Structure 1
């Protein structure tokens, strides 16, 4: 029974490759199913760990290792009598391995438990401090933009994005904004959807020159909310510019 699961770093896991074999599914389809839920599961990394396994030719292939919660989430979509039988087998395997782990775990004294708790607390604080330090420049930027009531031109947004680590110019940014539906085609004005989201505003000015009739000008400007949105979307992503999807 326990050959269905294994222990790694004191955690009970099962591989996506074994699941594919046992549930009579193609492994690439199982990988696809796992990756399709990543964006909707906030603690995806706690349940699924990316790794490698060997194929029949001894070549390394990508796979996922998952704990009980990850397996349960994935197996929800598996239907049929055969799938039900394997779900029960895996649940029993997890339960049996958990009992073995508990029986094999030595009982710690009060002092040992306290020391272990302190070590874990220090480790958590160190990780959190590192994350805060890494995020500090972007957090400070976002806070300063939110606090500001001023809007900026698209070319100024391009400069800000470039300063935050994403290499882009005004023309390239305009092209992307049009293709993703934020700016109207063959225009510099935002779409109604982008306006409704509060990402842009239109500044209208009247220009008077001598005896010529007054002329109204319309200028597209990026709001503070829009600045935060676009900088986070571009600078906090590892995707290429045209892999990024719009919000709507």
Structure 2
């Protein structure tokens, strides 16, 4: 089989996948280190699903190390599936083909199995694969539900907050001090955090993005905040 993605044998004889080479093959735009950390968040465990490799040895002069992590074939398959891209599908099929080839080679040196043993082995492998796939899907759903906002979405919310406050001020032809504007920002941010169930805007989850934007579009300062601004104005006039 032609090598599509770099693999190598570990000391225990198992096949490992070069994490950086898989990242390059998948065409992921996110830098490798950030991407790999994101993949770990799906529930993979160091020393079980992957091993960190030293970057001090075999590092090309003036270049990057050729390998950062050694991933098991199972992890490499799941990571490829998570990408949900044609490249990810191609990589996953490649790793499956590698496994099949390795099993065929192993069977050549194993005594023939009875039909009953073969059937039992097939059922065990199928059950194991189904449990693994179910676990991956559950981790993917949980990750999608709880992941934080992307930088672009967070910027959109921040700009929306500023736009809502400025519109309110212009629409009513208000001349506000820095403290009065601060009261308006405190009002909209406090309500935004309450609606999204967080303590700070930076903690808003991606699943609540639409909810956050709707709140910003509908926002009007509370009666308490409007009265506070009026009191500040009276204090300045006194």
**Bin of the TM-score, shorter chain as denominator length:** 0.3 to 0.5
Between Structure 1 and Structure 2, which shows a larger proportion of strand residues? 1
TM-score by length of 1: 0.34
